[in-house]
Amino acid sequence: MGTSEAVLHVLSGAVPQFLSSDMCSSNSDLVFYSKCHIKSVKKKGSRRLPSLKCSSMSGCQIGSYRCKRLGGGLHGNTAIDRLTLLRCKCQQAESVSGVDTGEGNGAWFVDNAKKLNLNGSMNSEDILEFKTVEQLKRENEVSMLNGKVGTGTNTIFTGGVDSVEDEAWELLRASMVYYCGSPVGTIAANDPTSSNVLNYDQVFIRDFIPSGIAFLLKGEYDIVRNFILHTLQLQSWEKTMDCHSPGQGLMPASFKVRTVPLDGDDSATEEVLDPDFGEAAIGRVAPVDSGLWWIILLRAYGKCSDDLSVQERVDVQTGIKMILRLCLADGFDMFPTLLVTDGSCMIDRRMGIHGHPLEIQALFYSALLCAREMLTPGDGSADLIRALNNRLVALSFHIREYYWIDMRKLNEIYRYKTEEYSYDAVNKFNIYPDQISPWLVEWMPNKGGYLIGNLQPAHMDFRFFSLGNLWAVVSGLATIDQSHAILDLIEAKWADLVAEMPFKICYPALEGQEWQIITGCDPKNTPWSYHNAGSWPTLLWQLTVACMKMNRPELAAKAVSVAEKRISKDKWPEYYDTKKARFIGKQSRLFQTWSIAGFLVAKLLLADPNAAKILTTEEDTELVNAFSCMISANPRRKRGPKRSKQTYIVYNYWICIS
């Protein structure tokens, strides 16, 4: 259904050219007029900053709106203060012909903006006019499930649908969050049995990805477009923790739509977007994967909707470049992989993945390919694209060559020599063969292989991490042979990785003293629970995309049939516990949105396998050729008895030739 769009260009100090931008592309299906104000929120002990006003009007035919700077603004490289909240001033009607609107983001103004004659007059510029009350009632009935209308909270599914898939769609739509009349995302969970909400009532960037893909495949593009543009605005905010700020370009982990009293008028309220960049998260870890997922979703939106105007916008192009510059920045690392802390991705608690975890590298590679496809030629793009291409070649070589493990490679590591000091060392990372665990020797099938979880000096994390391996298949980071081998391993180890509910987040679990040391005795990450080898239904959609790309839909269909047997009866849990996923997780939230959305995406892709192309990426010929050159020049391929003359340098400048 059509939705009204109230997307603002937040003026970032890092990109001052936005201040003079006159026209911003939009594709709203409806025609409406609204005035939105960006103001500073008055915090205790802080002074008022200059306010910004942004008026926007959607044209009836061209579908675009004009953004002008009307008041004081930002200059130079001054970032928007972190304490400043983005607000959209929307007076809320208490009722429309007896239809209760509820509190917060009432659905009374969703998809009900009346088409206006722009040459006519309006009684109030801040009140959206509506269609007929009868239509409003019908739309309210669709969006309301025994809870508040449109707030995405306190929803209990009571049945009355024809199938599990219909139920999932009802629940997904009930989780939608609205900001100034437009859907902007879905909350993390809608569990009515939990008294401690924590941050599960927020819109998480990584959690929304399967929701966004589901809406795209269903042809409902507005919510994804709004999500992309609103999170982009939050990117430019100042982010500070203990007087330190991370690099520009960091995307928030989540955001929440709050309803607050309007300054100077206690009878009116306004909505604000309140982001969390990790300052309030457990462990205070910045979300490295948020920006990478944002780029991947942006490309998927363009491919699915055929609307390339969003990715071609100046502010969106700048947002892509800011993320890339943050990821491609020079550092001390000798490896092309991204160096991150523990808990900076889906596994957001201490699980021993600090360093160069596979999940981040797979998303990084995918985001680089997506960004290269979307970047428009212009000032500053040439150098960035050159650095991007160089990183793609180095990253793909590094992961394919050093992260890959199968029975042959395992035997090779078993025979490694250590303490090699040379430029052509075979054991480049000084891996000790004793690191090979007994479980791996027994677990590795003769046919199949996978990419290890992490690689650092003298350390290989041999655990199987599902998201990293699946997205390596989706993005093309793994070769075609490696991709098939990964799926072969999943098929061979079905009883371990799928069992009674797909899909293990990692395998095996950390247990005993290893669990105590690595997790710090985390009571939530106990063995075979949560991130410590728990089973997560949301991973079903990544598995399905990988299977569709490799033309193995029967594997995905088998996993979907396993999930379909019990996921609805279990009330859509966040995760499952035990080796075989027999129990609902002890702290698992029910009605977890990305469990619902992951199931829907899997079903939609099984019905239309070609739709997976909005997420998959293929290597181009230049990248393959460059990789082949690196393989042929790799000393590891040339090892063996050396018959050439060796030179030894001794002191006193004597040179001895043997």
DSSP string across 564-584 = HTTTTTTT--S-EESTT--EE
β-bridge mates for residue 244, sequence order = 241
Please name which of 407, 396, 404 lies closest in space to residue 369, comparing C-alpha atoms.
396
| Helix or strand run (H / E) with residue 91 | none
How far is the CA of 52 from the CAs of 5, 49, 334, 409, 645, in angstroms? 19, 9, 44, 60, 73
Q: E strands of 115-156, at which residues? A: none
pLDDT at residue number 654 = 46
**Domain 165-628 fold:** Glycosyltransferase (1.50.10)
Long-range contacts: 144-147, Cβ < 8 Å, 24+? 144/107, 144/174, 145/170, 145/171, 145/174, 147/174, 147/192
pLDDT along the chain (658 residues), means of 10: 39 36 37 34 33 32 29 35 45 37 35 35 36 41 38 43 88 96 95 83 96 98 98 80 74 92 83 86 82 98 97 95 93 90 90 95 97 87 92 96 96 91 87 93 96 94 98 97 98 98 97 94 95 98 98 98 97 97 96 98 97 89 66 53 47 44
- Would you call 37 helix, strand, or coil by DSSP? strand
What pLDDT does 621 receive?
64
Residues 17 and 335: their CA atoms lie apart, in Å, by 35
> In the Cβ-directed half-sphere of 416, how many Cα atoms lie within 13 Å?
22
pTM, rounded to two decimals: 0.75
* Domain definitions of the chain by residue range: 165-628
Token digits for 152?
């995405």
Amino acid 53: pLDDT: 32
Confirm if 175 and 152 have CB atoms less than 8 A apart: yes
Reference 578, options 591, 568, 588, 569; nearest CA is 588
